[in-house]
Chains A and B, each alone.
Chain A
């Protein structure tokens, strides 16, 4: 199984809502990532978890809050987002933070209204 599964696939939320994005992998990978991708742009790294600990936060606003409950799961909690936060949010995993191939999920298409 080389899949990274993200739910939901689509999400529409108001600026006062609280929602969560979920990511799961069963490849035994020990590093997991959140990326944000705007239309016609490359993915931008947001957070890296290595061995369930946050190792990189790319100066992401606090309205985005990551959580790694265990080595297979990664969540992104969303609160008080702005319309400009609308994007495709991608989860990825690698075997270890210095290992090679990154496997990406299909993403969650988020629209903030």
Chain B
């Protein structure tokens, strides 16, 4: 019940296309859902995060869609660029904080020029 299931494992998109990564969870006590971006040899960096009281949050080209009833959330990257090529992790935690983040297994995104 503590798991966050992430798909796909890898994703190849053409420049300018839309990248979509999906996550699902079981624990209804989760109330904070961040997405992290990690480049090779670097630590993860927070990209965007959402709480269950909203269904969508947009920051620039990045959008999180959240479906509370389905216990699913997804990351959409519009106008994908080669510089977006990285590994993306969804995560979830309880009590609104990052104390015990439960990470998905990650999606390696490759954006071809």
Using a CB–CB distance below 8 Å, which chain A residues touch chain B?
A: 4, 6, 31, 40-43, 45, 48, 50, 55-56, 90, 92, 94, 96-107, 109
* With A31-B99, A43-B103: A101-B44 Cβ-Cβ less than 8 Å: no
A90 to B105, CA, bound (A): 17
Chain B residues within 8 Å of A107, by CB: 41-43
Across the interface, do A90 and B97 meet the contact criterion of CB distance under 8 Å?
Answer: no
A100 to B86, CA, bound (A): 23
Query: B96: CB under 8 A from chain A?
Result: yes
Across the interface, do B101 and A98 meet the contact criterion of CB distance under 8 Å?
Answer: no
How near does chain B come to A53, taking the closest CB pair, in angstroms? 13
Query: Which of A56, A90, A101, A103 contacts B99 (CB under 8 A)?
Result: A56
Query: B61: CB under 8 A from chain A?
Result: no
Chain B residues within 8 Å of A31, by CB: 99
Across the interface, do A105 and B43 meet the contact criterion of CB distance under 8 Å?
Answer: yes
Interface of B is mostly: loop
Using a CB–CB distance below 8 Å, which chain B residues touch chain A?
A: 32, 34, 36, 41-46, 49, 89, 95-101, 103-106, 108
A60 to B36, CA, bound (A): 24
Across the interface, do A106 and B41 meet the contact criterion of CB distance under 8 Å?
Answer: yes
How near does chain B come to A113, taking the closest CB pair, in angstroms? 20
Across the interface, do B98 and A100 meet the contact criterion of CB distance under 8 Å?
Answer: yes
Give the 7 A-B residue pairs with the shortest CB-CB distance, closest first. A104-B43, A42-B103, A102-B98, A98-B97, A97-B99, A104-B44, A94-B98
Chain B residues within 8 Å of A106, by CB: 41-43
Across the interface, do B98 and A42 meet the contact criterion of CB distance under 8 Å?
Answer: no
A45 to B36, CA, bound (A): 15
Across the interface, do B45 and A100 meet the contact criterion of CB distance under 8 Å?
Answer: no
List 26 contacting pairs A-B, 8 Å CB cutoff, sorted by A.
Answer: A40-B108, A41-B105, A42-B89, A42-B104, A43-B89, A48-B100, A50-B99, A55-B99, A90-B44, A92-B43, A92-B98, A98-B97, A99-B98, A100-B32, A100-B49, A100-B96, A101-B34, A101-B46, A102-B46, A104-B36, A104-B43, A104-B44, A104-B45, A106-B43, A107-B43, A109-B41
